[in-house]
Every structure is written in C-alpha cells, then in structure tokens.
Amino acid sequence: MPHVSQKGLAMPSSPIRKLVPYAEAAKKKGAQVIHLNIGQPDIKTPKIALDAVKNNTIEVLEYSRTEGSETYREKLAAYYAKNDIHVGASDIIVTTGGSEALAFVMGSIADNQDEVIIPEPFYANYNGFATASNVKVVPVVSDIDSNFALPAIAEFEKLITPKTKAILICNPGNPTGYLYSKEEIQQLAAIVKKHDLFFIADEVYREFTYDGREHYSILQETDLEAHAIIVDSVSKRYSMCGARVGCMVSKNQEVIQTAMKFAQARLSPPTYAQLASEAALETPQSYFDDVKEEYLARRDLLISELKKIKDVKVARPQGAFYCIAELPISDADDFAQWLLEDFRLDNETVMVAPAAGFYATPGLGKNQIRIAYVLDQDRLKRAVNILKEALKSYIG
C-alpha cells in the first residue's frame, strides 16, 4: 500500500487536542468535563462584530483581495497607531487566523532545514508550522523558577549558526503568560541586528496584561524595520476564535511581497469574517477594561488555589490567560488521560493540557500542565479542587 510522507509522520499532534477522544468518551458516560485545556474564551464576542455579519447586504459572496480588504487594513493600521505601532495598510496582509500568518512567515523567510530559535515552552503549533515548512526549531530553555523570563542572551548566542534565520517569541506568552519587558525586547533586538536575523513576535494577546504592566511591541523599536515581523489575530482579542482572521505585519516590503505570493496561492481570506473583524475594531475600550478585570480576578483566584495544593509549583502569568503548573507526578500525559478515564468527583473531572507538548527539548515539561483560565471563577475554583483531590488519589 502507498505510504504517507515523512513530513506527515513528523508532524506533531496537538497537546491541546489529542485528549479530545477521552473527553468525549467521558461525556458519553455522563460525566461533566471542565475544560482547562484550551484557550477558548467564554467572554461574549462584541455585538458590533456579530451585527456586521447579520446586517450585511452582500448579494454575491465574492473573493476579497488577496491581502485583505483595503478598508480593513487601513483600520488595522489606525488600531496599531493607537498602540504606538506605526505601519501602513501596505505593511499588512490579512490571513486566515494567526496560524496562516505563521505559515506565511515560515515560508517567506526560511529554506529547507533553516533554523528558528524559540524560547521554550512555546505555543505547540510553532512546531507544526516549522515541520510543514521543513524548518528546524531550536529551543532555548526558560524555566518555571524564573517565572519563564527571557533566557540570558548568551544562551541565544550559543545557538546561532549559519542556518539561523530568526528568533520567534510569543508576547505575552502562550503557554506561560510571561510578558516580555521593553528591556528584554531591546536585548533581542540587539542580537537580531548583530547577526542579521528576523525577529518574529506573536502578539495576539497584546491587550491582556496585568499588574500595571504594558505591552511593548517589537515594531515600537524604530530601527528594527528590516527585521521585525508581527503575527496577530482577532481570535483572543475579541473572543472571535471561529472567525479565523489574523494578519502578518512588517515594514520589510521584501517579506510582505514574498508572503503575498503564498497568500495568492490560497486566493483570499474569508469575506464575512473580515466584515466582523473590521467592525470589531470599533469595540469600546470599556469592553477591554471589563475583560482584563475579569481575567485578572481569575488569575489571582487560580494562582491562590493552586498554591494551596501540596507540592504544586506555579508560575505567575503577567499576561494572556494561561499558566504552567508543575505537579508532584512524573508523567502529566498519563495523569491527564487518567483524569478523563478514571477519576470523578461528584461526577465531574477536568481536562488539562500536558506541557511536554509545548517543549521541543525531549524530557522537559513531563511533570507540568498548562491551564487556560477562560472559565468563570466558580468553575475555576471547582476545577482546582477536583485537581487537588485527583492528585491525592493518583499519587496514592
């Protein structure tokens, strides 16, 4: 029989979604599963975005422009300007989610077996996009004891080879919730200029920052135009994951024109979703203020409750809505599956994301899980209590 490709075999499974069959089986048996595993916000999508689709007068659902509609890109540029990121519509390509933006970036900057350095743990799909583009991920380890702060620049320098094409960060981070400071961004800016590399920043969680801290974008660095590429998305910002609209942004027109060729191959981003995304840009600041306040309360509750569990170590997120917890177990994959198959507390259990899938270095993260605090506070508290009782039972 014919065989699938080596690339296909090398594609990693999602650590977030691979346990879904076990969760579905638990639900079929009548159990309630509280999902801590996936960053699907429960916050309502802004009504203005939904109404834009409901009230449209389109009679022929045509292709949009390959790079996205001009009005949407112009409004995006205005949105960025409000965030002290000064770009024009021609610096933006609208994509099918941040995922496609990442795929376009990988295809545009790297050749076969070129290397991209990424602080780990990192968003698991970076591995997938790199594999699909025959790009090698080179991890630089950050750790829970330093709250997943930027590793020393010397550690990056050690890893740079003639095949290195870029450094990629997620800021604020998924899965860690770490928010890179202006000083850390400037340290990385210096190294990419020194070694003539690209600097890619996934900034989809820009609005979600806590403790009075502010997000600092790589495109706020004025002398980084040739190096900087932003990946962005409406998914988390407006609780519009299903819209599948994102973008890539760069002042480097060679990068933009190269990515345009990849974009032309898929024709255009989705029309209705662009309508919703364009309207979402009119969302009042009060929406974000309320959402941030809610996520901050959830973070504080989650961290407080996790710290009450014996021998559990937890990093303190400064942005996004994820945290990494280290458990007193040896195999979080086995524990996560056991939770769904065998453990119930008042007929409830929890679904978590084993953290090993967020690392590229074999063996790291085996005793860690990622928790997405996208649930209301009552359910979040109940979920941590289930986790506490489950650990007692599992270890016992």
CA distances from 162 to 130, 159, 199, 300, 305 (A): 18, 10, 16, 44, 47
pLDDT value at position 41?
85
Residue of 245, 230, 215, 241 whose CA lies nearest to 372 = 241
In the numeric block, which tokens belong to residue 342? 């065998």
Question: Mind spelling out the 3-state secondary structure of 260-284?
Answer: HHHHHHCCCCCHHHHHHHHHHCCCC
pLDDT value at position 120?
97
Residue of 233, 205, 203 whose CA lies nearest to 219 = 203
pLDDT digits (tens, 9 = 90+) for 13-49: 777 677 899 999 999 999 999 999 988 888 899 999 9
Q: What is the DSSP string of 98-134?
A: HHHHHHHHHHHH--TT-EEEEEES--THHHHHHHHTT
pLDDT digits (tens, 9 = 90+) for 190-235: 999 999 999 999 999 999 999 999 999 999 998 999 999 999 999 9
Domain with CATH 3.90.1150.10 in the chain: 6-44+286-395
pLDDT digits (tens, 9 = 90+) for 381-395: 999 999 999 999 999
pLDDT digits (tens, 9 = 90+) for 122-179: 998 999 999 999 999 999 999 999 999 999 999 999 999 999 999 999 999 999 999 9
Q: Which residues pair with 345 in a beta bridge?
A: 348
Mean local confidence (pLDDT), 278-306: 95
CB 57 within 8 A of CB 288: no
Grade residue 290 by pLDDT with cuts at 50, 70 and 90. Answer: very high
Alpha carbons 248 and 229: distance in angstroms, whole number = 7
Mean local confidence (pLDDT), 371-385: 94
In the numeric block, which tokens belong to residue 386? 């289930």
Residue 31: other Cβ atoms inside 10 A: 15
pLDDT digits (tens, 9 = 90+) for 329-343: 999 999 999 999 999
Contacts of residue 185, Cβ cutoff 8 Å, sequence gap at least 6 = 171, 216, 217, 218, 221
CA distances from 327 to 16, 336, 354 (A): 18, 11, 11
Mean local confidence (pLDDT), 243-263: 97
pLDDT value at position 311?
94
| Residue type for position 14 | S
pLDDT value at position 268?
95
Burial of 78 (0-12, 13-18, 19+ CB in 10 A): exposed
pLDDT value at position 7?
87
pLDDT value at position 171?
97
Domain with CATH 3.40.640.10 in the chain: 57-280
In the predicted structure, residue 111 carries a pLDDT above the cut 80: yes
Options 3.20.20.70, 3.90.1150.10, 3.40.80.10, 3.40.1050.10; CATH for 6-44+286-395 is 3.90.1150.10
Options 3.90.1150.10, 3.40.50.2300, 3.40.640.10, 3.40.50.300; CATH for 57-280 is 3.40.640.10
pLDDT value at position 396?
82
Reported residue count of the chain is: 396
pLDDT value at position 11?
86
Please give the biggest Cα pair distance in the chain. Answer: 63
pLDDT value at position 387?
96
- Over pLDDT 70: what percentage of the chain? 99
